[in-house]
Amino acid sequence: MKITELSLLALLIVPLLSGCGSDSESEPPVAAPAEGSGDSPTNGGVIAGPPPEEPISGGSAAGPIPVTDVPFPGPIYEPISTLKGSWVQECMEESDGGGSQKGVVVYNNESFQFYENYYSDNTCQNLTARVEMSGSYLLGDLVDLDSGQIATNLSQDIISFQLAYYDSNIIASLNENTVCGHSTWAVGELQELKNCNDFDFESFKKDIVNIENNQMVYGDFDFIGEGGYPTQLENKILLKQSVTNLEGEWLQECAVSGQQSYRDELEIIGQAVLAKGISYADTSCDEILATQVGTYLFELGKQRILASGEMVTEMVNTNISLHFAINDSDFITQVNTLNTLNCGVTNWLESEFKDVFDCDWVTNTGNMVFSEIIKADSNELTFGDSEYLGGDGFPTQLDSEPYVRQN
């Protein structure tokens, strides 16, 4: 599936200028992961890194974190049973030469998260729009295309569709015309469009997909058959990333920090991490203060030995999504009064998530790409302690609270 920036603009702006309803040429989201060879999307997506080096003599028994190369089967001539994995679309120029785009799709067994960035240049440098979409999916029957290619029907239910623009002129037009009922569009801040009448989500429900040699291709929505499914494949390729032994769900139990506490959850799929962190106002993880959810991509590097003698693996992470909610009413009042966490043009509301990916107080930390260390045993995962950083940006010691595998 694909969505082009032109189609987004046509859906949201042209109807306003013409005074008529939206008649869109809907091109669903693309996203594609780099496969196990270590390919990575240009300008930003750290993806599948080189396999860790052999353990250094005298190191930890945990050893290196193995990376399992995704096998290269031949063409799939049976219906695809799952899309699970992280898939990356490398920087690709628009067919009309009017910009470029790149993205990521993360599939679980039944759900997906989609992230796509759009650029005004042809090398994915000047960001103009950003989309985040989530939902559920169901794979169907095998279908023979007129081209002789084989595909599998793909049904999707969109739960959330969010869009952000980075052009101040577009933002002004969107607010002036109260597009999708919003008059609070802000540069770089996602707005929820799922219930927007100007956007046709029906076109996202039916797609086709083909996978060959860990390359995934969706249907071309310029060619729709009688059943509503595309009859041709598009030319955008999504590459599957390698799988590591980190794959699975991990939980860090209640940990105390000063007068507060926190609990973190991770789901690692391919080389993407879906993270959720909850902060508490007490030391027993009872009174929720704030919640953070986000997604980042990781690349494993070489091994190193800490001063403690422990063997760890270097890890470089790239954030691609970050949302934050404040769950305490007194804290919200304080934040809104002092403007300490300004983001967008609206105040914080209790337990309501805000997109903070491009907020100044987030980007100024320089944590969009950050260095990490990791030690993995069969059922425990320990990251570095960010309070102790070396000159190269990597932590110099491990955190005291490990994550425990849940599945």
Which has the closest alpha carbon to 107: 230, 216, 265? 216
* pLDDT reported for residue 366: 61
Write down the pLDDT at residue 393: 93
Tens-digit pLDDT string for the chain (407 aa)? 656 554 555 445 433 333 333 333 333 333 333 333 333 333 333 333 444 444 433 334 455 666 666 665 555 467 898 999 999 999 999 877 789 999 999 999 999 999 999 999 999 999 999 999 999 999 999 999 989 999 999 999 999 999 999 999 999 999 999 999 989 999 999 999 988 887 777 778 999 999 999 999 999 989 999 889 999 999 889 999 999 999 999 999 999 989 999 999 999 999 999 999 999 999 999 999 999 999 999 999 999 999 999 999 999 999 999 999 999 999 999 988 887 788 888 899 999 999 999 888 887 666 689 999 999 988 999 999 999 999 999 999 999 999 999 97
Torsion (CA) 305, 308, 309, 311 in degrees, nearest 10: -50
Query: Which alpha helices (DSSP H) does 293-376 contain, by range?
Result: 329-338, 360-363
Per-residue 3-state assignment (H helix, E strand, C coil) for 93-137: ECCCCCCEEEEEEEECCCEEEEEEEEECCCCCCCEEEEEEEEEEE
- Residues in the chain, total: 407
| Residue 51, pLDDT score | 42
What is the structure's pLDDT at 94?
A: 83
Contacts of 313 (CB under 8 A, 6+ apart): 52, 64, 65, 300, 301, 302, 303, 304, 373, 374, 375, 376
Please name the amino acid found at residue 158: I
Q: pTM, whole model, 2 decimals?
A: 0.81
